[in-house]
Amino acid sequence: MTVTQSTPEAMFIDGKAIEGASGKRIPVFDPSTEEVIAEIPDASASEIDRAIAAARRAFDHDGWPQTTAQERGRILFRIAEKLRAEAPQLAELESRNSGKPIVEAEYDVADAATKISGTVNPVPDNALSLSLKEPVGVAGQIIPWNYPLLMAAWKLAPALAAGCTCVLKPAEQTPLTALRLAGWLNELGVPPGVVNIVTGFGETGGARMVEHPHVDKIAFTGSAAVGKLIMKSAADTLKRVTLELGGKSPNIFFADADFEAAIDGALFGVFINQGEVCSAGSRVLVERSIYPKFVEAMTEKARNIKLGAPLDRETKMGPLVSREQCDRVCKYQQIGRSEAKVAIGGGQPAAFKRGYYVEPTIFYDVDNSARIAREEIFGPVATVIPFEDERDALKIANDTPFGLAAAVWSRDIYKALRMVKAIRAGIVWVNHMQPTYVEAPWGGYKQSGFGRELGIHGIDEYLETKQVHINLNEQPIGWY
Ligand code: ADP
Ligand code: MG
């Protein structure tokens, strides 16, 4: 491990940069060079508690929930503008991700702050019955490493729009862009304590947030295994929990689909962001009549995927995020070699001396019961599975513990729409794969979690509903 100009970073608690009392630091790597580029504090329990106390105070006493939706919206718009202005630098810091989608996310949710409204309930009495929407309180937000700043925006923006205060923990591998954002929050008018960014490991800092009695809600995006732990732990304090977990999403190709578009969609669906995408179309289901031709065309096109340094504009696939993730994906490549046939890839590219690179890999003749078809790999590994007809496609598509996303490719609108209705997943694309909009709900069925993110759906998850009954009848009740 070489250390070059590693920058010490601080957490952001109650409007202040906090170094971390214990002095324990976690190294942050550049996955393309394996160099340490920064160090972050490993938050102690007392620092997590301090962040939660600040968020609690900001919520209970400093008036953040009482600010008008317009004022909160204005602050979010300022954050969005700042992110837009800093997009090139943020994209560089993120190494592999452009800042643009993040800007969009922040921008549009800011507008939604003023769209939160209650309703009048038609009770059969001389009364006015209202449902009020109120912020749920202090939100603990735990995010993964695959889209660091984007995930921070998906979590912070709806919570702030709703009037919640936040303690956000980025993944220990990728904390830098969230910390950069933290550095701007005071000048952008976010009051102290409203947003706190803590760093550290999930097993310690993250777990502390989940069990803490002063946190009202946990919003988590990450692995299904950790999602299950969080749900169990949150039961002790009956916290609200929303979980966006993994997937094993089917990308389904009927013989009547546009062939060129289909091949592109199959590759893009699973290899985008090195396959480190919760909605990756990692199960490629192909109708038998086009299956051999499909595997061949996919393989040919996959040969042109350019692996390289994340900051190189020609690069289509960078390294995986960490040594740990690289080992994990290599292990699945090995399992796959014994479970199915290899069309391309299956190991690490010889061309790179450093960096956590793995080859884009296509397994074919995969049985849906194989481990590589059932378990989330979170890397550039496609499993191609043949099917006989619509019924068979549906059976295979739904035969998975997950239910995040799916895509159907066909020119037959009847068939495509029958599939859309029958697929058990939270997101279904037709003749496309991966488009994501801040206006449209995002989240899973089954073991892909529950709760929805983005747009007004996402804000709803940070709101409680209060029923208010106002008696309009001046007579006594007359009971006694
Ligand atoms: P991966 O295994 O790919 O790192 P995780 O689900 O473990 O994915 O990580 C996603 C996020 O969850 C990270 O911010 C991580 O620190 C956090 N995390 C991991 N374990 C726990 C836990 N036991 N409790 C709370 N948060 C956790
Ligand atoms: Mg983990």
75-114 tens-digit pLDDT:
999 999 998 899 888 888 886 433 223 333 344 556 677 7
Atom index in ligand 1 nearest the CA of residue 172 equals 16
CA–centroid distance for 269 within its chain: 16
Q: Which of the following is catalytic: 164, 166, 278, 330?
A: 278
C-beta of 200 in contact with ligand 1 (< 6 A):
no
Nearest listed ligand to the Cα of residue 228: 1
Is the pLDDT score of 217 beyond 60? yes
pLDDT band at residue 45 under the 50/70/90 scheme:
very high
Helices 87-94 and 148-162, axial angle in degrees (round to 10) = 130
Atom index in ligand 1 nearest the CA of residue 225 equals 6
Cα-to-centroid distance, 204 and ligand 2 (Å) = 12
Q: Which residue has the higher pLDDT, 88 or 453?
A: 453
Mean pLDDT throughout 221-234? 98
C-beta of 144 in contact with ligand 1 (< 6 A):
yes
Is the pLDDT score of 388 beyond 70? yes
Residue whose Cα lies nearest atom 14 of ligand 1: it is: 171
Atom index in ligand 1 nearest the CA of residue 230 equals 24
Q: Report pLDDT digits (tens) over 353-376.
A: 999 999 999 999 999 999 999 999
Q: Which residue has the higher pLDDT, 427 or 116?
A: 427
The Cα–Cα gap between 97 and 43 comes to 26
Instruction: Report the SS3 class of residue 243.
Output: strand
Atom index in ligand 1 nearest the CA of residue 170 equals 14
pLDDT of residue 111: 66
Is the pLDDT score of 413 beyond 90? yes
In degrees rounded to 5, what are phi and psi of residue 19?
A: -75, -30
244 assigned to active site:
yes
Residue 409: name the closest of 248, 247, 249, 259 by CA.
259
C-beta of 172 in contact with ligand 1 (< 6 A):
yes
166 assigned to active site:
no
Q: Which of the following is catalytic: 94, 106, 172, 244?
A: 244
C-beta of 229 in contact with ligand 1 (< 6 A):
yes
pLDDT of residue 438: 85
Report the residue count for the chain: 480
Mean pLDDT throughout 235-239? 98
Mean pLDDT throughout 138-160? 94
Is the pLDDT score of 435 beyond 50? yes
Cα-to-centroid distance, 226 and ligand 2 (Å) = 7
Helix (H) or strand (E) holding 45: helix 45-60
DSSP symbol at 114: G
CB 259 within 8 A of CB 267: no
* 139: amino acid identity, one letter: A
Cα-to-centroid distance, 262 and ligand 2 (Å) = 34
Mean pLDDT throughout 444-464? 95
pLDDT of residue 216: 98
Is the pLDDT score of 405 beyond 70? yes
**Residue 294: C-alpha distances to residues 254, 288, 289, 413, 447 (Å):** 11, 10, 9, 22, 30
Nearest listed ligand to the Cα of residue 207: 1
The Cα–Cα gap between 220 and 143 comes to 6
Residue whose Cα lies nearest atom 2 of ligand 1: it is: 223
CB 96 within 8 A of CB 173: no
C-beta of 210 in contact with ligand 1 (< 6 A):
yes
Mean pLDDT of the chain: 93
